[in-house]
Chains A and B, each alone.
Chain A
Amino acid sequence: MLIDLSHIQRLYRSDEVETTALLDIHLGIEAGEFVAIMGPSGCGKSTLLNILGTIDRPTSGSYSFGGQELTELGEAALAAFRRENLGYVFQSFNLIDELTIEENIELALIYRRMPKAERRHRVAHAMDHVGIAHRARHYPSQLSGGQQQRAAIARAIVGEPRLILADEPTGNLDTENGAQVMDILQRLNDEGATIVMVTHSPSHADLAKRRVDMLDGQVVISVRNAI
């Protein structure tokens, strides 16, 4: 088991209002899986993904990754964990406006100790992979939404992470661009990457190997798709 979540709970407290984003999550994910998470708006999908990505901490519960308990790690160790193991794709791309596409992708490597030449090589490779090499020197605002999302995917995979997290990667894209992105994700999964993706599109969910349905902060169904 690559990922093992048990009794994960996440509460938000603000000015006497308490929101339970995640109630009691149990979820196991094997290496090489492609999991699609679905559910109505506000049911806690993004929160779950954030916790998987260690950019948010559960209020209680345990999260083990490859046998290591992550809830016990400090800030610095988590930062190191993220740069070695994780890649992210967001619905709103989250590219930095002030940097070129190339620099944005390189950002995922910059916090690792890696020679400049190798970084360049890997960035070029990742851009090839998603088909945006010709846009390397452009700024995000000069690209279409589909191109920006492909750049974001390139950034997610350039570090060759063990786990790719994608929060509604096709949510801001039209059908054709959405299909392209799904294509890339499937190919990455075929090459061995573990992927967890949140989506509102049943057809995209069907392209994953497993589908997890959530409601009010809990996992209600987990089914394996027939291939």
Chain B
Amino acid sequence: MLTTILRGALRQARRHPVYVGLDLLGLALGIGVFLSLALLVRYESSFNAGLPGVERLVRVDEHWTLAGIAPMEEADISFLALPFLRQDFPEIEDAARLLPSAFRTEQGGAFTKFDGYETDPSFFRVFGIALSRGVVDDALSRPDGLVLSEAAAMKAFGTRDILGRRVELNKAGVRSVHVVTGVMAPIHGPNLLARAEMIVPIPGEEARTRSCFLYWGSACGAIVLRLRTPEDIGAMRARLRDFVIRHASGADDDRVAIGPHPEKIYEMRLVPLRRLNFYDVGVVDSDDGVDRNVVNAIGLIGFLALVLACANTVNLATARAGLRAREVAVRKTLGATRRVLFVQFMGEALVVTAVAGIVGLVLCEILTPEIASLTGEGVTVSYGFVLAVLPVVVVVAGLASGFHPATILSGYRPAAVLAAARMPSGGRGAARLRNALVAGQFAIAIAIVICTLVIDRQTAFMRDADRGYSKSGLLIGQQVLGGDLEQERRMLDTLRAVPGVSAVGFGELEPAPHAMSRSDYKYAGPNGQVSIQMLFDRVGPGYFEVYRPRLLAGRWFDPERGQDEGPDADDLLKSKGSFNVVVNVKATTTLGFATPRQAIGQVLTADGLRARIIGVMDDMRFVSPREEVAPEIIFFDTLARVPFVDPIPAVRFQGVARAEMARRLDRAWASVRPELASNFQPADERMAELFVGDERRGHIFTVGAVVALLIACMGLYSLAAFSAIRRVHEIGIRKTLGASGGQITILLLRDFLRPVALACVLACPVAWVVMRGWLSGFEQRVPLSPLHFLVAVAAALLIAALTVLGQTVRVARAEPARALRAQ
């Protein structure tokens, strides 16, 4: 039987190389894309799976429900909670605080940057990380301990055998000397620590002074818990509300607590680490998460590619069935049963699919690195996975694509076939099925094309969209530890003196901010008292010229006027004083002002502090396009007596290439603060981190669109080729009756394109619904324009027309006498 099947498949390949080739190619493409995208989906869903006992690991998030702004969840939390958590919840086996930090090592005046954490000695136990050098329990027990990842060890020392070596660290200008006490073994697969190069203990000084160690509601890092059993997660969750009431409540003037009823605005949430990347899409302060819908869509595209390829095979096989009708009739006359023939044809389909599977595997190997570089994800071909999945895919695809044709073929009745002058087409039903399959294929392809266009527009828009400040000619430095008035003035003067610089200014908020501080303000308006939470910023002279925000009403700060000077540390701490402020438009609409102008002169209060609005500026978007811009309040600091706390230098320049300008600024910076390397960057480079993920994953849609169109065109081509052969005779008759070549071409094109037109009708509404949903996840987004749909439909029709044009013209040109003879 097996040899009969193999021989049958081979004979088909020899007799109809084009059909079998198209069939094989389509299937291989489908299988290859399916495998590659399955690998990608598997990769994205295996986040943190390499951490031992990950099902017992949770991050403790803060969830705020505050007046005036949308509810939000933050990955960073007050470290004050941890001792109480340990005390109240016996479920906690171990815990660690993670303060994300950027370290620099200094060697002979050159800086090397390392990302990592300041954390507790329990860090390695909590995450179950092994050390390839050093001892887990001791590595961070001494305050000057330091653990490097293997990659970082190679980067810094060129070897992993570095225990006991001295490392001088520079963290935002603060120097410390450490001794290497361990080297981390790599963690398999994607995980939240993948970028961690350096781990050091939390300095005692920080734990004593930083507000996130001292106050509820203040946050600078994450808490990760290892529980005793996975069920403990649920058990703990049920008691967290009481926990918050017990520990975070206090009188209104209690600065440590969140207020008399913290549970009304504040909630602690446990987030299992296993799917943290999906969860983090909606979480502030976390790494850029992965939109699960997008990952699902990518998986769907892979699956659809396979379905399209199977549809192609069904199409080709039923079309070709007629050609084999005589073979079937003769075999049956010679005594073959229907079952034997069914097995024969099914077997042939499986053989073809198996060959396609092997070609698909090769395609997958070629595609996967491409996809990895397109998405920026570290996905690789995992043979264990692929070799387990491939046979299943081959069998399922083989059965799916072989069943229907085998049924038709084995069902032919010999007498009817042998008596008929022409090859049977499988009847009207089969023709309708073929058209439906092509329509379905194109519908899928067109829908993907539309989605690709919309995604492409949206990502381009996110890059180019107006952000409320002038992006070109703007370079932004790193946020540094301030507090030294003299040094800050010198810094500005030095930067201003760099050739090419036209303006310099400090602010305390930056594009893609690392830290934001918010506080509540009250406004007594005509409709009673309103309370809103506002983002705090403090800007200096020159800020306006550097960022060029749009002033919508009132005026900007004026360094010449004394009353524009903002609060000092004491004013803020004690909430006192009277100051002029500028707010953004979002603040005025949230406060209920109909126009920006109405807000001018109004006074906001925070306890004893009075803020008089002198200007309203357009919203400046420093946050992800997915997020809403928050109400913002801006104070002025002339640098006459009050130093900035965490200044962010920014520079406007002209007449110099950007890269050269950045080099000059970094050099000038080093002359004032040599201990602290700077890195002046364009604002867009910082914003990019907020949407490159979307952009890169969008590329997958492009791949999907191309593949889907390709396979759909193969289906259409084979359909056209088949019906062209069948219709030669009919065309001969029509021409004999006086139809011209042009009329025949139009007739055929119309028939061939009918399923494609139907596909357009099917695809548009689906794509519309899907894309409306996707776009609604963005606060800043493009409108869903009919143009995208028109372009996709026109492109599909054009490509389809080109696909069938060759066949059509060939048939339309045929000499009628010859056509009539060719029965």
Question: Which positions in A face B, CB cutoff 8 Å?
Answer: 50, 53, 55-56, 75-76, 79-84, 86, 88, 90, 92, 94-98, 107-108, 111-112, 155
Contacts and interface: CB of A to CB of B under 8 A. Distances in A.
B737 A83 contact: yes
Among A53, A55, A80, A98, max chain B CB count under 10 A is at A55
Given A94-B733, A96-B733, A111-B743, A82 B817 contact: no
B735 A55 contact: yes
A84 B743 CA distance: 16
B738 A55 contact: no
B293 interface: no
Given A96-B730, A111-B743, A80 B738 contact: yes
B150 to A, nearest CB: 71
Contact of B740 (A50, A76, A88, A155): A76
A111 B737 contact: yes
A53 B743 contact: no
Contacts of A98: 730
Interface in B710-743: 729-730, 732-743
Contacts of A80: 738, 740
A107 B737 contact: yes
B741 A75 contact: yes
B168 interface: no
B527 interface: no
Given A75-B741, A79-B740, A79-B741, A107 B734 contact: yes
A112 B742 CA distance: 14
Interface string B807-823: 00000000111001001
Contact of B739 (A53, A56, A79, A90): A79
A101 B737 CA distance: 15
Contact of B735 (A79, A90, A108): A79
Contacts of B421: 92
Nearest to A104: B733
A171 B709 CA distance: 50
Majority DSSP secondary structure for residues of B touching A:
helix
Given A75-B740, A82-B735, A82-B737, 8 more contacts: A55-B815, A75-B741, A79-B738, A83-B737, A86-B738, A94-B820, A107-B733, A111-B743
Interface of B: 421-422, 729-730, 732-743, 815-817, 820, 823
Contacts of A86: 738
B823 A53 contact: no
Among A88, A94, A155, max chain B CB count under 10 A is at A94
14 contacts: A55-B736, A55-B816, A56-B815, A75-B741, A79-B739, A79-B740, A82-B735, A82-B737, A82-B738, A86-B738, A90-B820, A94-B729, A94-B732, A111-B737
Contact of B823 (A92, A107, A112): A92
Contacts of A81: 738
B31 to A, nearest CB: 36
Contacts of B734: 107, 111
Given A76-B742, A111-B743, A55 B737 contact: no
Among B730, B736, B815, B823, max chain A CB count under 10 A is at B736
A56 B732 CA distance: 11
A55 B820 contact: yes
Contacts of A107: 733-734, 737
Nearest to B817: A56
B738 A83 contact: yes
Contacts of B739: 79, 83, 111
A53 B730 CA distance: 17
A80 B734 CA distance: 12
B185 to A, nearest CB: 71
A83 B736 CA distance: 8
A56 B815 CA distance: 7
A187 B741 CA distance: 34
A98 B431 CA distance: 12
A91 to B, nearest CB: 11
B557 to A, nearest CB: 80
Nearest to A53: B736
B743 to A, nearest CB: 6
Contacts of A53: 736
A155 B733 CA distance: 11
Nearest to B818: A56
Contacts of A75: 740-741
Nearest to B740: A79
Contacts of B738: 79-84, 86, 108, 111-112
A50 B735 CA distance: 12
B207 to A, nearest CB: 85
Given A94-B820, A96-B730, A88 B743 contact: no
A84 B730 CA distance: 20
Contacts of B743: 111
